Amino acid sequence: MSDEADVIVVGAGLAGLVATYELTRAGRRVVVVDQENRANLGGQAFWSLGGLFLVDSPEQRRNGIKDSYALALQDWMGSAGFDRDDEDHWARQWAEAYVRFAATRKRQYLHDLGLRFTPLVGWAERGGGVADGHGNSVPRFHLTWGTGPEVVRVFAEPVLDAERRGLVRFAFRHQVDELIVENDAAVGVRGTVLEPSDLDRGKASSRVAVDSFELRAKAVIVTSGGIGHNHDLIRANWPVGRLGPCPETMIAGVPAHVDGRMLAISEQAGATLVNRDRMWHYTEGLHNWDPIWPDHAIRIIPGPSSMWFDATGKRLPAPNFPGFDTNTSMKAILSTGHDYSWFVLNQTILNREFVLSGSEQNPDVTGKDIRKVLASRGGKGAPAPIEAFKNHGVDFVVARTVDELVAGMNKIARGPELDASLIERQIVARDREVANGFSKDLQLMAIANARRSLGDRLVRTTKPHRLLDPEHGPLIAVRLNILTRKTLGGIQTNLDSQALHADGTPFAGLYAAGEVAGFGGGGVHGYNALEGTFLGGCIFSGLTAGRALARTLS
Ligand SMILES: Cc1cc2nc3c(=O)[nH]c(=O)nc-3n(C[C@H](O)[C@H](O)[C@H](O)COP(=O)(O)OP(=O)(O)OC[C@H]3O[C@@H](n4cnc5c(N)ncnc54)[C@H](O)[C@@H]3O)c2cc1C
């Protein structure tokens, strides 16, 4: 390939791969620039669980779930809560387009590339308890057979094939520091060539410069990801008024390359950034006992049965049940003046209800090994990676009695001393409610509702039982930390994924897709996500950018 490419793509994560795939399908020549080495191809998506939001899919129908575009749009808009005229102008339109994509072309597009799903549909982010408010009314979380690496593979393979055919050139260890703008149009990038790195995927690499570079093309697509590993940027943009004080202790759910630098670089070049205060961090973070990147955190995707206590030992009020309403739970936790909380459960709940978000934490599904899936999820005990966290993780306490459990919790608490009798009283009260089919305990009512979903009943939600029943022991407490992950705002784009100037006019030659563009439009999720929507947002916005440019450049 000659030096002059048609398009420069900044970032070889999922959004960059999808855009490149679409451009090369149309015969366009692309240079993909990434600050990391080739081992990191696919970026965050490789580490992901590969959960994808689909609407009215064959998998849902086979699970007896009735879904529709209208219901999904109601859920999306209720979750997003768009309330800003300018900043949400394109985000609203992206939301409608994206939900339509999820209800129509998305599954077939991925299926044609060879992607398949596991048969049971998960019910993530069940919401705040109001029909037109936040949350999924029905299960929509489709787990990719092969998890994140498979999502990456189906786009990486055709892109690597295009590299062999000379349509794609990768510039790894090239860090972009500046967008070149001439005559109001983006025409290239300048940056630093970093020293070679042979580190494994996910490891934090050096930023030692060995050279500088400049590349020019007819257009630039920025697909550089969010700010999840840049805790300074997160602190600077934390919405104190909405979520409470920024947590003092945060652990990182994303690799170090998710540094957010390209946002300021794009803004300096004249792109408009919006919704910087909207983020999606999780309340169920564990310190990884076997870390890959600095401060490596793993999120528990919990089933609904653990009891959830704040740092002072009080049960969190409804709708703060595990896996229901991320931001409302964040606010409830931070309102105590502390930045952590506790799950209290037993071995039976651990066995069935804990899923760890991360491809490497689910080797059975990631390896597409049906026998291992049946052995690890259908047998006695928790899957091995979960047992490993229980045995080695600094956030776990295991005990036979409540007194012993709370003594262990007090050893690792970062705040007030917990009173064992207060905790025990609340558990006993909850356990009394299990004795019959009726209950006034909203969490138990939610569990009964969850078990009406096939996926939940079979693999995600235990039959209600007394937490203190020794047959289901031992008792387990888990200290839950704030885990940083997703950026919901970013570069504002129109429906072609084209960046915009401050006056709303399209920025010639500059496009943005994936997390850096708030997964489309500068914030397709608004304030809240329905889960499984991020990979799909990268796919939809990357596809849109690639196709728009393929058209424009023809
Ligand atoms: C553990 C985990 C589990 C997840 N699970 C799910 C899930 O189940 N479902 C879901 O929908 N989402 C999930 N996500 C979120 C999803 O994976 C990410 O939001 C998505 O992959 C982001 O893709 P991206 O292409 O926008 O950015 P990234 O993957 O961050 O890629 C950006 C690339 O740009 C490069 N870059 C950045 N700045 C520069 C620069 N200045 N110069 C050169 N290169 C640069 C980076 O090195 C990186 O390679 C998960 C994420 C993680 C980490």
- SS3 for 206-246, per residue? CCCEEEEEEEEEEEEEECCCCCCCCHHHHHHHCCHHHHCCC
Residue 255 Cα: closest atom of ligand 1: 53
296 with 345: CB under 8 angstroms? no
Give, to the nearest 10 degrees, the angle between helix 533-552 and helix 105-112: 80
Q: Would you call 120 helix, strand, or coil by DSSP? A: coil
Atom of ligand 1 nearest to the CA of 16: 25
Torsion angle (degrees, nearest 10) of CA 47, 51, 52, 53: -130
Token readout for 512 is: 């943005």
Residue 339 pLDDT greater than 50, yes or no = yes
Question: Per-residue pLDDT for 214 more than 60?
Answer: yes
Q: What percent of the chain has pLDDT over 90?
A: 94
Q: How far is the CA of 486 from the centre of ligand 1 (A)?
A: 9
Q: How far is the CA of 216 from the centre of ligand 1 (A)?
A: 25
Residue (of 443, 444, 354) closest to 395 by Cα position? 354
Ligand 1 atom nearest 542 alpha carbon = 25
Distance 404 CA to ligand 1 centre (A): 41
Ligand 1 atom closest to the CA of 50, numbered from 1? 8
The share of the chain scoring above pLDDT 70, in percent, equals 99
Other beta carbons within 10 Å of 434: 17
Q: pLDDT tier at 438 (50, 70, 90 boundaries)?
A: confident
Q: How far apart are CA 336 and CA 244, in angstroms?
A: 9
Residues in contact with ligand 1 by the CB-under-6-Å rule are: 10-16, 33-36, 40, 43-45, 47-51, 175-176, 223-225, 253-254, 257-258, 261-262, 357-358, 486, 514-515, 532-535, 538
d(CA 43, CA 225): 9
Is 5 a residue whose pLDDT tops 70? yes
Q: What is the pLDDT of residues 447-456, one digit of tens each?
A: 999 999 888 8
Residues 209-215: what's their mean pLDDT? 98
| Ligand 1 mutation target, pool 360, 535, 539, 540, most atoms within 8 A of CB | 535
Q: What is the pLDDT of residue 379?
A: 65
pLDDT tens digits, residue range 124-160? 999 988 999 999 999 999 999 999 999 999 999 999 9
Range with lowest mean pLDDT among 402-406, 434-438, 503-507, 530-534: 434-438
Kindly report, residue by residue over 260-303, the tens digit of the pLDDT: 999 999 999 999 999 999 999 999 999 999 999 999 999 999 99
Measure 526 CA to ligand 1 centroid, in angstroms: 19
Strands 51-53 and 141-143, how do they pair? Answer: antiparallel
Domains and CATH numbers, the chain: 5-225+488-552 (3.50.50.60), 281-483 (3.90.700.10)
Record the tokens describing residue 269, joined without a space. Answer: 């070049």
The residue whose CB lies within 8 Å of the most ligand 1 atoms, and thus the one to mutate among 22, 44, 530, is 44
Q: Is the pLDDT of residue 494 over 80?
A: yes
Q: Does 115 have pLDDT greater than 90?
A: yes
Give tens-digit pLDDT for 18-62: 999 999 999 999 999 999 999 999 999 999 999 999 999 999 999
Counting from 1 in the atom list of ligand 1, the atom nearest the Cα of 299 is: 1
Q: Dihedral angle at the C-alpha atoms of 130, 134, 137, 138, nearest 10 degrees?
A: -150
Is the ipTM here above 0.95? yes
Please say if the pLDDT value at position 365 is more than 70: yes
Residue 2 — pLDDT band, cuts 50, 70, 90?
very low
* Average pLDDT of every residue of the chain: 97
Distance (Å) from CA 116 to ligand 1 centroid: 21
- Nearest ligand 1 atom to the CA of 258 is 30
How many angstroms is it from 43 CA to the middle of ligand 1? 5
